[in-house]
Chains A and B, each alone.
Chain A
Amino acid sequence: MTQLLWSDDFCIGVESIDHEHRELIILLNEICQALGGKSGIVKDKLMGELFARISAHFALEEKIMRNHRYDRYQEHKLDHDKLLDELREIMDDHEASGYASAEKLVKALVSWFTLHFKSEDARLHRQLG
Chain B
Amino acid sequence: MLVVIQKVGTRLFRVFEELADRFFGPKLNPFYQLGGLAFFFYWIVAASGVYLYIFFETSVTEAYNSVERLTHEQWYLGGVMRSLHRYASDAMVLVVVVHLLREFCRGRFNGVRWFSWVSGVFLLWLMYASGVGGYWLVWDELAQFVAVLTSEWLDWLPIFNMAMARNFLNEAHLSDRFFSLLSFLHIGIPLVFLLVMWIHIQRISQPKSNPVGGLAWRVLLAMVVLSLIKPAISMDPANLDKVVTVVDLDWFYLGVYPLMDSWSYGSVWLLLGGGSFALMLLPLVVRPKRISVAEVELENCNGCERCFVDCPYGAVVMQARTDGLPYEKEAVVDPDQCVGCGICVGACPTATPFRRQGAHVAGIELADFAISELRERTINAAEALSGENKVFVFGCDHGDELNSLKSDSVAVMSLPCIGFLPPSFIDFLISRNYADGVVLTGCRDGNCHHRFGIDWTEQRLTNQRDPGLRQRVSRERLSRLWYGAGHIKQLRKELTAFQEKLKILGPNRVKKNRVSDGDVDGEELRGDL
Contact = CB atoms under 8 A, between A and B. Distances in A.
Interface of A: 15-16, 18-20, 38-42, 44-45, 47-49, 51-53, 55-60, 62-63, 81, 84-85, 88-89, 91-92, 95-98
Majority secondary structure, A binding face:
helix
Given A39-B527, A60-B304, A85 B471 contact: yes
B245 interface: no
Contact of A52 (B354, B511, B521): B354
Interface stretch (B37-45, B164-172, B324-332): B324-332
A45 B355 CA distance: 7
Nearest to B305: A63
Contact of B519 (A38, A41, A52, A92): A41
Nearest to A86: B472
22 contacts: A39-B524, A39-B526, A40-B526, A40-B528, A41-B526, A45-B521, A47-B354, A48-B354, A51-B354, A52-B354, A56-B304, A56-B349, A57-B302, A60-B302, A60-B303, A63-B303, A63-B304, A84-B470, A88-B431, A91-B354, A95-B514, A98-B515
B525 interface: yes
A63 to B, nearest CB: 5
A36 B427 CA distance: 28
A96 B302 contact: no
A30 B335 CA distance: 39
Given A40-B528, A45-B356, A56-B350, A16 B466 contact: no
Interface residues of B, number: 43
Given A19-B325, A40-B515, A56 B354 contact: no
A97 B512 CA distance: 9
B526 to A, nearest CB: 6
Nearest to B353: A48
A55 B524 contact: no
3 closest Cβ pairs, A-B complex: A59-B304, A52-B355, A48-B354
Contacts of B326: 15-16, 18-19
Contacts of B363: 56
